[in-house]
Amino acid sequence: MLLKVLGTAAGGGVPQWNCACRECAGARTHPRRRRRHAALAVQVAEGRWYLVNATPDIGEQIEDCPELHPGPGHRRTPVAGVVLTDAELDHTLGIARLREAEQLEVIATAAVREALRGRRQLDSLLAPYTELSWRDLPTEGLAQPLAAGSAVHISAVPLSAKRPRYAATDPAGADAPGDWVTALRLTDRATGRTAVYAPALGTWPQALEEAVAEADCVIVDGTFWDDDEPRRANFSTRGATAMGHLPIDGPNGTARRLASLPARRLYTHLNNTNPLIDPAAPQHKTLARLGIEVAADGMEIVL
């Protein structure tokens, strides 16, 4: 199984267009610190890939990844479809940027699908341009091939009922409280290797504990370094956990959970306030002592 990391930033990217904080200013001065919105590409066959989340940066992310370039036909693309981990704008706005496709398959849970088709009327919006073909994202225990005939199987690990702001009062998905935010479990049946991808992580349920314990690679939410970061940065009165993101450090931090795993462990979805944006920040050494990495845009992971 081959994974390509297309982006590793939280909402707004790094730098964020309207932010002059230390990390964003540093990214403008040092382009290597720039990070695009968190997304992944999964190879299901030679010349065929699925995108995990479609971000506002999707056009640039495709251009930065030669494996996703079109050809040899004028309109032949290796991008077969999109898998969604949630319905947040940062993970779904890119679907509209793919409207030149003749047809686009979107794999999502029922709650996410109904939010996009109902509240945002995505089908109606894109109907004059392309046809969206929807497929259910199977839950854990009901894994399905990501593409017909592919050895890569996919399933969702329900995480939380955190809805995007635009769907806060939407009745859709009310009967599936854990299906608004999910982790993905990707298994290569040919090699037996497994990856877990959870770019948004507000809770750590038992199902996730079991999934990461069996995984060979775990890529999880690293939005905030500690719980007080949003308040310290003066953009929220709530802490990280209250905003739906478990922090990395602290008594309830995810680093403690990841440290005991035998898998390769990486953080993604970094907010522009996270000190890990700076490659010289001492927090990198803290993670390195635990054997934990910070994912980088363009990184390739072979399982």
In 178-254, beta strands by DSSP E: 181-188, 193-198, 217-221
Cα separation of 26 and 20, whole Å?
9
Beta carbons of 126 and 102 less than 8 angstroms apart: no
Q: Is the pLDDT of residue 175 over 70?
A: no
Total number of domains constituting the chain: 1
**Bigger pLDDT: 179 or 266?**
266
* Parallel, antiparallel or unpaired: strands 264-268 and 217-221: parallel
Range of the domain at 284: 2-302
Beta carbons of 85 and 198 less than 8 angstroms apart: yes
Residue 210: Cβ within 10 Å count: 12
pLDDT of residue 110: 92
Q: How far is CA 268 from each of CA 36, 38, 201, 223, rounded to the nearest angstrom?
A: 11, 7, 11, 7
Q: Is the pLDDT of residue 202 over 80?
A: yes
Q: Is the pLDDT of residue 129 over 80?
A: yes
Q: Report DSSP letters for 149-185, one per residue.
A: T-SEEEEEEEEE-PPPGGGTT--TTTT-TTBSEEEEE
Q: 3-class SS at 274?
A: coil
Nearest to 50 by CA among 242, 197, 205, 237: 197
Nearest to 292 by CA among 269, 271, 268, 264: 264
pLDDT of residue 302: 97
* Token code pair at residue 50: 């699925």
pLDDT of residue 151: 97
Q: Is the pLDDT of residue 148 over 90?
A: yes
Tell me, what CATH number does 233's domain have?
Answer: 3.60.15.10
| pLDDT (average), residues 185-200 | 97
Mean pLDDT, the chain, as a whole number? Answer: 95
Q: Encode pLDDT of 51-106 as tens digits.
A: 999 999 999 999 999 999 999 988 899 999 999 999 999 999 999 999 999 999 99
pLDDT of residue 122: 96
